[in-house]
């Protein structure tokens, strides 16, 4: 193993409680304009691109920050993190009443779905933010910090 591979392996490995490698946690920040929020039903916002063949993204969480403008969004729009090609929901829905209808700056945390059977995702699939319901009015912007891992099965 050469020095660059050794450095990569050290930087991208975190030991869990049993001393096994848990994998590096990545964080990415994405900005969303008001126009993009109004189109989330038909044009979901890319959060994390597909990682490549033989790799799977593990969605860990997303923190959404609503930077209030001057008008609230008018429709009961819920937001969800899902896979891009599989359209598999990875988070619970954040309802408009709890977030987009706020008349001040607001934060919310989207946690991964927890099911006894687990959530089945596709290999080499990315993450996106999608909405149900189309707000016609409102002018707030949003920032998202998404945390995820890449599992390489090659």
pLDDT for 16: 56
User: Is the per-residue pLDDT at 102 higher than 50?
Assistant: yes
CA dihedral angle for residue 101, residue 68, residue 145, residue 79, rounded to 10 degrees: 20
What architecture is the 24-152 domain classified under in CATH? Answer: Sandwich (2.60)
Structure token digits, residue 27: 């964080």
pLDDT for 28: 96
CA 69, chain centre distance (Å): 23
Q: What is the pTM of this model?
A: 0.82
- Contact predicate 150/25, CB 8 Å: no
User: Is the per-residue pLDDT at 10 higher than 60?
Assistant: no
At 17-74, the pLDDT tens digits run 565 566 788 999 999 999 999 999 999 999 999 999 999 999 999 999 999 999 998 8
- Contact predicate 144/63, CB 8 Å: yes
CA distance 102 to 24: 34
Task: Give the mean pLDDT of the chain.
Answer: 85
Structure token digits, residue 107: 């934060």
Q: Determine phi and psi for 36, rounding to 5 degrees.
A: -70, -35
pLDDT band at 105 (very low <50, low <70, confident <90, very high): very high
pLDDT band at 124 (very low <50, low <70, confident <90, very high): very high
């Amino acid at each position: 193993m050469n020095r660059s591979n050794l450095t990569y392996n050290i930087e991208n490995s975190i030991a869990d409680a049993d001393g096994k490698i848990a994998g590096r946690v990545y964080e990415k920040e994405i900005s969303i304009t008001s126009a993009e929020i109004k189109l989330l039903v038909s044009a979901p916002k890319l959060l994390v691109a597909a990682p490549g063949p033989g790799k799977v993204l593990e969605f860990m969480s997303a923190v959404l920050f609503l930077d209030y403008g001057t008008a609230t969004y008018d429709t009961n729009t819920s937001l969800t993190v899902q896979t891009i090609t599989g359209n598999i929901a990875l988070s619970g829905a954040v309802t408009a009443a709890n977030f987009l209808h706020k008349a001040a700056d607001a934060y919310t945390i989207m946690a991964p779905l927890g099911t006894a059977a687990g959530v089945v995702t596709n290999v080499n699939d990315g993450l996106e933010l999608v909405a149900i319901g189309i707000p016609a009015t409102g002018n707030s912007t949003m920032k998202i910090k998404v945390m995820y891992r890449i599992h390489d099965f090659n």
